[in-house]
Amino acid sequence: MRKRVDFTLSDRWIKQADAVLMQTYARFPLVLTRGVGATVYDINGKAYLDFVGGIAVNSLGHCDTQHVAAIVQQAKALLHVSNLYYHIPQITLAQRLIAHFPGKVFFCNSGAEANEAAIKLARKFARDSQVIKRPDRFEIIAMQGAFHGRTLATLAAAGRRQHQKGFEPMPRGFTQVPFDDCGAIESAITPKTIAVFLEPIQGEGGVRVPSPGYLSAVRRLCDRHGLLMILDEVQTGMGRTGRLFAYQHEGIVPDIITLAKGLGGGVPIGAMLATSRVAESFTPGTHASTFGGNPLVCAAAVSVVERLAKPAFLSRVKKMGDYLQKRLMQLKTRYRLIREVRGVGLMVAVDLERPVASDLVKRGYETGLLLNKTSNDTLRLIPPLTIQRIEIDAMIDRLEEILQGQSDITLEAPPQAAP
Ligand SMILES: *Cc1c(COP(=O)(O)O)cnc(C)c1O
């Protein structure tokens, strides 16, 4: 009887949602009302340990005191002004980012928009820098299994047929080659190619980590052929992998990078950074965004960047990521359902022997644990970067209970206690 009252409360909101919201998401039946750290609460007061983190967005966890204070302070001073004027939060945020990627910044509101801006800048740069007019030079080589957003150009770049279906025609000028195969890129280069566009680690593609040396090889290839190297760091950036940007693991410098997700710690902001040489092609009137980098979101992002660019913060991300992977590897030795554990920093995937990720995610939220999947074979763990060791332990305990529930695949003699 007690349960029924709770159920009705969220159920009523869910019914209303379905009447007024477009059905673009297959949502879980949770109505979330507040959060603190790595825990969110639903309308019934039930707590959930959050290993989704808004899909790698809540980098400082929920309602971090300093982050909230920065937002409140800015909201009281100046919420928005047009990009016809200067304001200090935007300049400050650009300075903080440029300290780590020497170049210039264009601010926008999302990952897809940052990638659109990158595509436009690459095309404009190619047009500006050619001596002989070649209007057909605009092709960009992207990767199979990529995800760059849901606008038309980013759908065309990623090349996933199931995302494009029904929305044709796609913008021209993109081709896809297998990820983690530098030879495939080289074979695809034509006189029309202007850039190579990829994620340092494929996120939506299932946390695909390329072989060591791959990004450096792509960099050398781009240099040899005069191509721009564009990295989509929307998911891998902002400390997620234990470095501020994932490409830093390989000691290279791309020509363009895109950021969003974790950058604002929960406020909608995207950024496209380019080396100064390339950035020159964006002149007044060539590109714009009304909300792009407004005072509110920039103040929020400054407070995020100042925290997570600190070496101590980043090494903690690496440490917690290693710990998370170690604990998952321990589960793997005991549960046949776990095929592989992989990832870098706090971007971790668990491949399953059977396509039951949906069941695990469902069992997860029923028992107070938010999990994410990239396909029915792969769970993805992308918790707040501030995740604590005891929270990782708690998640592992719950995941183990869920795995035990999948009785047919449990090895005999499950362990008594975690080592
Ligand atoms: C999430 C994501 C995007 C799209 O970002 P939106 O803010 O949803 O437009 C683009 N690229 C990568 C790698 C992403 O993970």
Answering whether pTM is above 0.75, one says yes
Cβ–ligand 1 distance for 272 under 6 Å, the answer no
Cβ contacts of residue 249 below 8 Å, gap of 6+?
A: 200, 241, 243, 344
Cβ–ligand 1 distance for 232 under 6 Å, the answer yes
Cβ–ligand 1 distance for 235 under 6 Å, the answer yes
Question: Given the CA of residue 113, which atom of ligand 1 is nearest to it?
Answer: 9
Question: Given the CA of residue 202, which atom of ligand 1 is nearest to it?
Answer: 13
Question: Given the CA of residue 149, which atom of ligand 1 is nearest to it?
Answer: 4
Is there a contact between 199 and 143 (Cβ–Cβ < 8 Å)? yes
Half-sphere exposure of 9 (CA within 13 A, CB side): 14
What's the CA-to-centroid distance between 116 and ligand 1, angstroms?
A: 11
Q: For ligand 1, atom 5, name the residue with the nearest CA.
A: 111
**Pairwise CA distance, residues 407 & 37, whole Å:** 33
Question: Given the CA of residue 151, which atom of ligand 1 is nearest to it?
Answer: 9
Cβ–ligand 1 distance for 233 under 6 Å, the answer no
Res 8: pLDDT: 72
What digits encode the pLDDT tens for the residues 274-301?
999 999 999 999 999 999 999 999 999 9
Res 12: pLDDT: 92
Res 133: pLDDT: 73
Q: What angle do CA 31, 36, 41 make, to 5 degrees?
A: 25
Res 407: pLDDT: 58
Q: For ligand 1, atom 15, name the residue with the nearest CA.
A: 235
What's the CA-to-centroid distance between 70 and ligand 1, angstroms?
A: 25
What digits encode the pLDDT tens for the residues 78-126?
999 999 999 999 999 999 999 999 999 999 999 999 999 999 999 999 9
Res 7: pLDDT: 57
What's the CA-to-centroid distance between 166 and ligand 1, angstroms?
A: 21
Is there a contact between 108 and 289 (Cβ–Cβ < 8 Å)? yes
Is there a contact between 266 and 332 (Cβ–Cβ < 8 Å)? no
| Burial letters 43-65, b for 16+ CB under 10 A, else e | eeeeebbbbbbbebbbbbbbebe
Res 413: pLDDT: 45
Cβ–ligand 1 distance for 147 under 6 Å, the answer yes
**Pairwise CA distance, residues 294 & 289, whole Å:** 10
Q: Which of 109, 148, 154, 374 to mutate to test the pocket of ligand 1 (most atoms within 8 A of CB)?
A: 148
Q: Which ranges of the chain have pLDDT less than 50?
A: 1, 408-419
